[in-house]
Chains A and B, each alone.
Chain A
């Protein structure tokens, strides 16, 4: 990857989360799961599914730095606080992390002082019902999948469940995640210790 000048590096400054970013985000995540856009090419479907599985494995193994490399420099990790999602310019989300904040999230977990993750949760993720849809842009796909995260921490095992929308694209010659929208079933309810990366 070519070196980015520090004053524009999305790991350090957030210039890309602009009006157009928000507009496109809301548009791209509205009404995208349409039958006529479904991708049936098994090679593409396999590639998308493999990326989702890899992501799940890296998170289960706590390889957060490697997990970050699955995301493009100008990425988004979005956990809406309502099933209707809302306009993130006007609503808070459970999480709305651009590149820098996503790196903040990992940095915090690595300090050893993030008490909600000391000791860290153990997780296994089941990813299923993977469906791939064409996006408007070339070589860009929207992927719907359902998940169950089994989480063990502080003597208790619990389940987090929902579905994700991944926006994937080929970036610098490999498949990467542009946006991940995580829709928890109970996103609009009070959540106990929502500190694992979803």
Chain B
């Protein structure tokens, strides 16, 4: 049952902010208040983290019926689960009685949730199944208003679970559009075309969530922000070209590129920098624990097929950024969680290879033993430096009189940016066109007046 929030008339969920959006987001620059204004942040939690399709979880986190994980949709506490009949739902983790969360665990398995405050109990469909001493109530508890609210539209794309509160949002597949192509390619390099998510490197920074989204397609920062990582990865060999060494020298002219794919999604493709042959990706992967032992073991076991297996342990050189909060990069599924205008969680879920058909000749455990170690490198030795820079941006943007953040790299340079018939914009990987384009979409969304709804079981 779709429901318009009862308070819509008296408490509009989308009050109009007194901002001139065209002034705040210009062709070449964005205003500092996008990152610092708590009112804009609150509005984003409705118009973006509410009205857009937002990534919630991966199916491999809830493999069996009754499995759940808790997360957020914007600031709303959410339980993503597979109910006892197998339906994937996103329930509000909010008791309909007095508002307490009903589930306090990060993950687990449950057929029902009992609110710890007064004992109201809800099935994992969201339906209220019992309240203590009902004789003390004159109401009819069969009224659907007592069932847990839930996200009205939950949909999956190849294992990635998304939700939106916006009945007018396009179908998920239309929302994703061309970004499904790199997602498909990222998945299809694995046996069975899938991965499972595992544990995560979990980071937090005191800064606005968009600083991470501005960064995720940014090929301009790499040799500066990650200078220590590049030096570290290449310290043991003369003329080494490990990791992201292809950013050194003249990255503007390298074959890698960035794209804007519509609906805020952007994509950086570094694969053209790597030779197209099995094992080439592995060769540029930097040193990590167990590398030489497992490489030797895999080569002895798989012979000429070892290259493909080793490539699965190497970081895939792509950044697939699904607006607003899902960043698929390397072998990670990274999730942006905004907590406040100046506080953001960045969770880097590792992924493991599954091989149900034996494509890897029984070597999947060895591949994963390597893949876990390669995945720990960037969060430890790269992302911490980006996050430190994000915090220092937030600090810099406190300067009220110096208003602008520039994003004009590539703008106006003849022949640099190409726009295809389907609207996909392509430019060198060091260009800021991805940011200019997603900021246009951000502005469009912030101008919109979505009417968000929740659903309850009838």
**What residues of chain A have their CB less than 8 Å away from a CB belonging to chain B?**
12-18, 21-22, 81-82, 86, 88-98, 100-101, 104-105, 107-109, 111-116, 118, 154, 188-195
Contact = CB atoms under 8 A, between A and B. Distances in A.
B373 interface: yes
B198 to A, nearest CB: 5
Interface stretch (B27-35, B119-127, B382-390): B382-390
A21 B349 CA distance: 25
Q: Which 8 A-B pairs have the closest CB atoms?
A: A17-B290, A92-B350, A98-B289, A190-B204, A116-B384, A113-B227, A114-B228, A116-B388
Contacts of B314: none
A82 B199 contact: yes
A148 B86 CA distance: 45
A28 to B, nearest CB: 17
B201 interface: yes
B419 interface: no
Contacts of A113: 227-228, 231
20 contacts: A14-B290, A16-B293, A17-B290, A82-B199, A88-B372, A90-B198, A90-B372, A92-B198, A92-B372, A92-B376, A94-B380, A95-B376, A104-B233, A109-B228, A113-B231, A114-B228, A188-B106, A190-B347, A191-B202, A192-B206
A190 B293 contact: no
Contacts of A81: 199-202
Contact of A193 (B228, B233, B388): B388
B289 A101 contact: yes
B286 to A, nearest CB: 9
Given A14-B290, A89-B365, 10 more contacts: A12-B236, A14-B288, A14-B293, A92-B372, A98-B290, A101-B289, A104-B232, A114-B385, A116-B387, A193-B205
Contacts of A88: 372
Contacts of B73: none
Interface string B187-203: 00000000000111111
A22 B369 contact: yes
B350 A190 contact: no
Contacts, number: 135
Given A111-B227, A115-B225, A116-B388, A92 B199 contact: yes
Interface in B325-379: 337, 345-347, 350, 352, 365, 368-369, 372-373, 375-376
Contacts of B199: 81-82, 86, 91-93
A192 B350 CA distance: 19
A96 B373 contact: yes
Given A13-B292, A115-B388, A96 B232 contact: no
A188 B202 contact: yes
B220 interface: no
A18 B376 CA distance: 18
B290 A91 contact: no
Contacts of A95: 376, 380
B365 A104 contact: no
B277 to A, nearest CB: 24
B289 A14 contact: yes
Contacts of B381: 104-105, 108, 114
Contact of A108 (B201, B231, B236, B289): B231
Contacts of B287: 14, 100-101, 104
Interface of B: 106, 198-206, 225, 227-229, 231-233, 235-236, 287-294, 297, 337, 345-347, 350, 352, 365, 368-369, 372-373, 375-376, 380-381, 384-385, 387-389, 391
A100 B391 CA distance: 30
Contacts of A115: 225, 228, 385, 388-389
Contacts of A22: 369
A89 B313 CA distance: 12
Contacts of B387: 116, 192-193
B242 to A, nearest CB: 11
A100 B288 CA distance: 8
Contacts of B385: 114-116
Nearest to A22: B369
Contacts of A17: 289-290, 293
A94 B204 CA distance: 13
Contact of A91 (B233, B350, B384): B350
Contacts of A15: 292-293
A65 to B, nearest CB: 14
Nearest to A7: B292
Contacts of B337: 190
A96 B372 CA distance: 9
Nearest to B373: A96
Contacts of A90: 198, 352, 368, 372
Contacts of B391: 154, 193
A154 B396 CA distance: 13
Contacts of B369: 22, 89
Given A15-B292, A92-B199, A115-B385, A108 B232 contact: yes
A16 B376 CA distance: 19
Nearest to B351: A92
A94 B385 CA distance: 16
Of A111, A112, A113, A189, most buried by chain B (CB within 10 Å of CB) is: A113
A100 B289 contact: yes
Contacts of A193: 205, 384, 387-388, 391
